[in-house]
Amino acid sequence: MELKNLSIRQLNNLFVEKKAKPSELYSDIFDTSASSESLLHAHLALFEEKNIEIAKNSDKRFENGESTGLLDGIPIAIKDNINIKGELTTCSSKMLSNYRSPYNATVIEKLDNENVLYTGKTNLDEFAMGSSTENSAFGLTKNPWNTDYVPGGSSGGSAASVSARSSIGALGSDTGGSIRQPAAFCGLVGFKPTYGTVSRYGLIAFASSLDQIGPITKNVDDARIIYNAISGHDALDATSIDNNQINIPFDKSAKIGVIKELMEDGISDESRNEVSKVLESLKNQGYQIKEVSLPLIKLSISIYYLIAPAECSANLARFDGVRYGLRVEGKTSYEMMQNTRAEGFGDEVKRRILLGTYALSAGYYDEYYGKALRARKKMIDEFSNIFNDVDYLISPTTPTAAFKAGEKTSNPLEMYMSDLCTIPANLAGLPAISIPTGLSKENLPLGVQLMSKPLTDLSLLNFSEVIEKEVDFDTFPKGLEK
């Protein structure tokens, strides 16, 4: 079997037993990205040159029995809204096309300590706003399963990179589904951790109360390994929390709730069938399953599209032509800012800033933003009540499999609907994961989502492995062989 298809643990075993070397893995990975990149455009930058040396250092550590652990020499791709010192961090925006990071994000410091090897920076929807990676200022990314289709978004480049085997795992960011939805569209595992357990320091902010960094991988164990490496309290992030994990059962005594509202209108038969398939197998294994209702879930898109734009309008105010990136001159400083923002931001980003500024304006603050905050609080209460009854919640990850490029670009509302199932976990700060379970009629991957209460990430991952074993999904994109 080719090295690039193996799991992190399998690779580490081969390195430890001196049956393979990190530098061999890296050449395998690099050959793949060299041939697939022109087709997929998963990356905005590839770091090939430096990596040869870095991989050789890993080789030496394994030769001398001094490796630093499971991630030593493992090639990881990084979404281009996470700062790596000295590299460009563009957020796929014209605004930051020349912005070079003066510091490392905390997740990068942590991965550096593990001696991972960064393959490059991956494409995204501009400032992580979107569900298809079509909002990138630098061109779209294609789905490795079928290049007529989108890879999902906003972490579409990260998902395409792992799916095509241009990296072993990738970091994405998830504000309303941007890790889980592209993972589902590309047949991968996508994990959004409990809010606050992974530092956001050095992640360029979209909506700070919702953003969370997490892994996209071929399997659940890889996601766990990366999560263990990047999580933990960070004094540099004011919303960071101590990662004091709570254990909940993941054996047959675990209780599973099927979310009624996410099995109804707006969800395709195909997506629903994946959930039914998984439930059938859990039932056969003796798990207790019941239907649960979370009525406010139906409002999550409305709540999200007030809160996220409101926060983004504040966060993106810093891009004014004075401090970062692009500057388009004008006769006055005011005109300079106007010109810079008019030219630097794309349509979707502008739409969100307008929406957010409106929702926060004096006359409407209470009516829109305030109401959304109150509804969010009620929804969190609904979730906590349900978690007194069940340990895990199950639903489809997405209403449908991947859609064709261009299919939803002219209708933002339709695009927003692709996050129907994923947004609730962000609003409530819950850990949530997408596991690939099957294929649509068009041979495109479909996934199932699991959520659990805050700080039960590790139990959630353990339970996910039960499902993963049972469905035995082959993550290699059939489309790539063409």
- Choose one: 30-38, 108-116, 173-181, 276-284; the region binding ligand GLN (CB under 6 A): 173-181
Stretch that binds ligand GLN, among 21-29, 174-182, 221-229, 450-458 (CB under 6 A): 174-182
206 and 155 Cβ atoms separated by less than 8 Å: no
User: Mask of contacts with ligand GLN, 296-325, x by CB under 6 A?
Assistant: ------------x-----------------
The nearest distance, CB 49 to ligand GLN, in angstroms, is 31
How big is the site for ligand GLN, counted in residues (CB under 6 A)?
Answer: 14
Residues in 193-212 that interact with ligand GLN by CB under 6 A: 206
Phi/psi of residue 410, each to 5°? -90, 0
**Torsional class of 196: left (φ above 0), alpha (ψ -120 to 50), beta (otherwise):** left
Binding segment for ligand GLN (CB under 6 A), chosen from 127-135, 227-235, 249-257, 359-367, is 127-135
Least distance in angstroms from the C-beta of 300 to ligand GLN: 11
Given the residues 4, 79, 121, 218, select the one marked as catalytic. 79
Structure tokens at 121: 């920076």
Strand partners of residue 259: 292
Candidate residues 58, 92, 119, 175; the one interacting with ligand GLN per rule CB under 6 A:
175
Segment 393 to 432, residues that bind ligand GLN, using CB under 6 A: 419
Specify whether the CB–CB gap between 198 and 80 falls below 8 A.
no
| Displacement of CA 39 from its chain's centroid (Å) | 22
In the bound state, the residue with its beta carbon closest to ligand GLN is 178
DSSP per position, 196-237: TSB--TTBPPSSTTT-EEEEEESSHHHHHHHHHHHBS--TTS
Minimum gap (Å) between residue 179 Cβ and ligand GLN:
7
**Side chain identity, residue 146:** N
Instruction: Name the one range near ligand GLN by CB under 6 A: 92-100, 170-178, 251-259, 474-482.
Output: 170-178
- For the question of residue 276 being annotated catalytic, the response is no
**What's the number of CA atoms in the CB half-sphere (13 Å) around residue 331?**
0
Q: Which is nearer to ligand GLN, 67 or 131 (CB)?
A: 131
Nearest Cα to Cα of residue 204 among 343, 345, 297, 318:
318
The residue among 22 and 356 lying less far from ligand GLN, judged by its C-beta, is 356
Question: Of residues 67, 92, 154, 400, which one binds ligand GLN by CB under 6 A?
Answer: 154
State how far the Cα of 383 lies from the Cα of 389, in Å rounded to an integer.
10
Q: Nearest approach, Cβ of 67 to ligand GLN (angstroms)?
A: 34
Which one is catalytic: 178, 231, 271, 418?
178
Instruction: Please confirm, yes or no, whether 79 is among the known catalytic residues.
Output: yes
Tokens 């062989």 belong to 481
Residue 395 is among the residues annotated as catalytic for this protein: no
Instruction: Report which residue type is found at 328.
Output: V
Q: Is-contact 210 427, C-beta < 8 A?
A: yes
92 near ligand GLN (CB under 6 A): no
Q: Cα–Cα distance between 475 and 258 in angstroms, integer?
A: 25
Binding region for ligand GLN (CB under 6 A): 128-131, 154, 173-178, 206, 308, 419
Active site residues: 79, 154, 178
